[in-house]
Structure 1
């Protein structure tokens, strides 16, 4: 599964709206697996237009519980159903689509990294 690419899409996902504690509009854009320092990391990338720097209404502090929720209530069940046991789960929010690995200073992005522990996500500081 990982032989050809640095990052592999786990399964095609249809963009879907996801409910989060802040009430902001969030939709799942893609799920990727990659090898980071010899460990499998699962990356759940979400679009969250309300975090935009200019005109955005959701700060990182407001979005942090959303990312905790997305990890525990969406990512972990999804990974279990796929039979994947990553060392880390990354939840990212972006105000607009941006291909993985590219940088754009005009795109607002929030990231959190978690260590799966049973049915819980343990936040890992960068």
Structure 2
């Protein structure tokens, strides 16, 4: 297959936005319904051959969190007066605005005299702290934080819809991408009124399995 070539297998075109999409209807484990829109095969993503299974989920917008407004929106801070910190006594002088004074006080209170620092080194607590810095504690399953609310349905689609449709002995894809949208739009098109969600899975060369790629 030529670099970047695109092969399209398409279901009948979806209906208008106020109608149910046409195409193959699939009921997911959560009870949600999706409609297969098309399957694409390409090498444009730099991951080798990729199979893209595109679905329409009419109620996707109700199932995933949404944000509005620019990320830089925030309340303007009030003007602050000067803050003086006496490093000898830890006393703070100045206007108290938005908790800044509290932060400065905490900094002053946590300062350790040289003698106490020496004791810390002797009893081994400093060494223990260095160990924690080198091997910071992580959540038991950090990847869970990257999962979207319909992740389990997407995994089901990969395992039960995409995998059985991987052609054999045709060239085997290295990656499977499952995409959902609340309306049918052309591939790679952007529509600010359409909610879209994508998840990628690695397909091992020696077995049929959907290995989620969260990053």
1:44 Cα shift? 0.2
1:82 Cα shift? 7.3
Structure-to-structure mapping, 1:41-120, within 5 angstroms: 41-52=50-61, 56=62, 58-59=63-64, 61-80=148-167, 83-117=170-204, 118-120=207-209
Separation (CA, whole Å) in 1 of partners of 2:184 and 2:169? 25
Separation (CA, whole Å) in 1 of partners of 2:24 and 2:201? 22
Separation (CA, whole Å) in 1 of partners of 2:170 and 2:177? 17
Separation (CA, whole Å) in 2 of partners of 1:97 and 1:82? 31
CA displacement 1:73-115 (0-9 Å, x = unmatched): 1101101457341010000010001100111111101110001
Pick the structure with greater CA Rg: 2
Separation (CA, whole Å) in 2 of partners of 1:40 and 1:100? 17
Separation (CA, whole Å) in 2 of partners of 1:98 and 1:86? 24
Q: Which runs of 5+ in 2 are unaligned?
A: 13-22, 66-147
Aligned to 2:115: none
Give 1 or 2: higher helix fraction: 2
Give 1 or 2: higher strand fraction: 1
Q: Which runs of 5+ in 1 are unaligned?
A: none
Contact 2:47 2:174 (C-alpha < 8 Å) held by counterparts:
no
Separation (CA, whole Å) in 2 of partners of 1:59 and 1:27? 18
Distance 1:85 1:26, change over 3 A: same
| C-alpha RMSD of matched pairs (Å) | 2.1
User: Is 1:17 equivalent to 2:25 in the alignment?
Assistant: yes
Contact 1:22 1:62 (C-alpha < 8 Å) held by counterparts:
no
TM-score normalised over the length of structure 2? 0.51
- 4+ runs of 1 displaced by more than 4 Å? none
